[in-house]
Amino acid sequence: MWESLGLSDQHKLNVAAGSVLAVLALVAIIWTTAPQAVEDAPRSVGAAPAAKPPVTPAVADSLESAPSSLAPAAPSFAPVNSLEAHRLGIAAYKAGNFAAAQAAFEQALVLRPDDAETLNNLGLALVRVGQVAEAVGRFERAVVLVPDKAAFHFNLGHAAGELGQWERAVDEYREASRLFPTDYATQYNLAMALHKQGDPKAAIPEFQKAITLAPGEPSFHLSLGISLEQVGRVADAVREYRAYLEMAPAAPEAASLKAHLEALAGPRASPSASP
């Protein structure tokens, strides 16, 4: 499942005693697909088990990783067809050479300008080189060409979120979720986008759905707790924070979250003075 779920690098939640300061990052699940031969369901290469979603973008396709020699730093290839150019782009992306991937996907589009998969993958490469606004245009075109592909809506939502366009991100994640209702990462990103949009109340049921889909993911409970606390449901938030601590007792933020729980409990009665 934006480098995707880049979503971007996720689950960074800063918790301070007395207040929960959440830098809520989207689950970065970038779905990409291989040319022609891949099934319709979004997939990702090297995806983590369902209980622990990946936190960095990954290209998803049905091809085996190609040799790094296929991803030169300054591409000088002259592919004979769009499929070859697309394969070169995938190989470059997997090798971490995103500029070469961009060049290869752009060449593939010269040969076949209306290939939705290539447009989507070019969008992913553009995100990785920091051209997010340009990536949005490629994702938009992919969505127009294939409107029922959850992956394309997911990636467009992620890019919109990167630009701070949270209303649009919510819309795209909702559509991705409608098309792929059992995907926990899409559901979680929808909840996060609502939270980022400033609507924690609406985010709460979406976080709950994500937990139902991936009950073993601790950070989902932490995120839900933050939204619950923001709407004043402190007792419910405490329950979710405790669930998180039970599931991830050694988490880096565990100590500060425990301190925050103590602060939420309020001042304790002072011991009586000895007679």
**pLDDT for the residue numbered 177:** 97
Question: Residue 195 domain-assigned?
Answer: yes
Question: Residue 4 domain-assigned?
Answer: no
Residue 146 and residue 118: Cα distance in Å, rounded? Answer: 12
Question: Residue 273 domain-assigned?
Answer: no
**pLDDT for the residue numbered 46:** 25
| Token pair recorded at residue 151 | 């992956």
| 77 φ/ψ angles, rounded to the nearest 5 degrees | -70, 155
Average pLDDT, the chain: 76
Q: What percent of the chain has pLDDT over 70?
A: 68
When mean pLDDT is compared over 2-16, 21-35, 37-51, the highest value belongs to 21-35
Entry pTM? 0.73
**pLDDT for the residue numbered 7:** 28
What is residue 16's DSSP assignment? E
Q: What is the pLDDT of residues 57-113, one digit of tens each?
A: 333 332 223 333 333 344 455 555 888 889 999 999 999 999 999 999 999 999 999
**pLDDT for the residue numbered 104:** 94
Domain total of the chain: 1
Question: Residue 35 domain-assigned?
Answer: yes
Question: Residue 30 CA to chain centroid, in angstroms?
Answer: 7
Question: 21 forms bridges with which residues in the sheet?
Answer: 14
CATH number for the domain that contains residue 51: 1.25.40.10
Residue 13 and residue 173: Cα distance in Å, rounded? Answer: 21
* Residue type for position 246: E
Question: Residue 189 domain-assigned?
Answer: yes
Residue 226 and residue 234: Cα distance in Å, rounded? Answer: 9
Q: Which domain holds residue 171?
A: 14-265
Q: Which of the four pLDDT bands, split at 50, 70 and 90, describes residue 255? A: very high
Residue 63 and residue 163: Cα distance in Å, rounded? Answer: 31
Residue count of the chain, please give it.
Answer: 275
Task: End-to-end CA distance of the chain: give it in Å, rounded.
Answer: 65
Residue 34 and residue 118: Cα distance in Å, rounded? Answer: 9
**pLDDT for the residue numbered 265:** 86
Question: Residue 275 domain-assigned?
Answer: no
Question: Residue 8 domain-assigned?
Answer: no
**Mean pLDDT along residues 203-230:** 97
Q: Which of the four pLDDT bands, split at 50, 70 and 90, describes residue 188? A: very high
* Residue type for position 110: V
More confident site: 21 or 208: 208
Q: What is the pLDDT of residues 195-216, one digit of tens each?
A: 999 999 999 999 999 999 999 9
Residue 167 and residue 159: Cα distance in Å, rounded? Answer: 12
Quick check: helix, strand or coil at residue 218? helix
Question: Residue 75 domain-assigned?
Answer: yes
Q: What is the pLDDT of residues 140-170, one digit of tens each?
A: 999 999 999 999 999 999 999 999 999 999 9
| 248 φ/ψ angles, rounded to the nearest 5 degrees | -135, 65
| 20 φ/ψ angles, rounded to the nearest 5 degrees | -105, 110
Q: Residue 12: is its pLDDT beyond 70? A: no
